[in-house]
């Protein structure tokens, strides 16, 4: 299986059915336990590049509450319209009423499916990392650590200021 490589937009423009990539590889910048598996499809519409894909992998996160590591399934199913700057008056503008393109590509540039997948998977990372509903919380202190009979050990430095 070949690795994902950027594809020039001019070459993609010539493909009437667009281009599809089957993905089963690590993605640069994403520390995952398993290869990213999925499918990406890009279709050139003149002034818009329509990209859609699905992908899944497993990553290791650190719980914000108990500080233990845990495995998390990271998955995405995305569709995006990327605007291509108009190269000249001969370009026919394609209008998509449902969505507005949010990113602008240079018509002489390339589309990088690996970077696109990285961005889509990164958007699915949880804002708060919790290992699960049975999270034990912070570890309980052993003994009389601060002279006050316990408490969360992460606050020990602040207690010492009293």
Two tokens, residue 143: 């003994």
d(CA 1, CA 93): 36
Give the residue, 144 or 63, on which the prediction is more confident.
63
Q: Decide if pLDDT at 122 tops 50.
A: yes
Pairing outcome for strands 19-25 and 36-44: antiparallel
| Dihedral sign of CA atoms 99, 103, 104, 108 in order | negative
Partners of 56 in the β-ladder: 37, 75
Give the residue, 129 or 16, on which the prediction is more confident.
129
d(CA 54, CA 70): 23
Lowest mean pLDDT: which of 3-7, 64-68, 102-106, 116-120?
A: 102-106
Binning pLDDT at 50, 70 and 90, where does residue 2 land?
low
- The pTM of the full predicted model, rounded to 2 decimals, is 0.74
d(CA 113, CA 55): 12
Distances 59 to 41, 69, 73 between C-alpha atoms, Å: 24, 10, 6
Binning pLDDT at 50, 70 and 90, where does residue 102 land?
low
> Could you report the per-residue pLDDT of 36-87, keeping only the tens digit for each?
999 999 998 888 889 999 999 999 999 999 999 999 999 999 999 988 877 5
């Amino acid at each position: 299986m070949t690795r994902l490589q950027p594809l020039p937009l001019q070459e993609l423009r010539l493909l009437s059915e667009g281009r599809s990539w089957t993905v089963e590889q690590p993605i640069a910048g994403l520390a995952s336990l398993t290869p990213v598996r999925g499918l990406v499809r890009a279709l050139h519409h003149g002034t818009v590049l329509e990209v859609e894909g699905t992908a899944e992998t497993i990553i290791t996160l650190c719980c914000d509450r108990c500080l233990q590591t845990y495995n998390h399934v990271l998955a995405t199913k995305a569709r995006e319209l990327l605007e291509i700057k108009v190269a000249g008056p001969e370009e026919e503008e394609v209008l998509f009423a449902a969505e507005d393109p949010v990113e602008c590509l240079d018509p002489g540039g390339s589309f990088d499916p690996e970077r696109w997948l990285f961005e889509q998977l990164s958007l699915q990372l949880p804002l708060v990392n919790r290992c699960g509903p049975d999270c034990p919380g912070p570890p309980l202190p052993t003994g009389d650590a601060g002279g006050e009979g316990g408490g969360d050990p992460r606050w020990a430095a602040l207690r010492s200021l009293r």
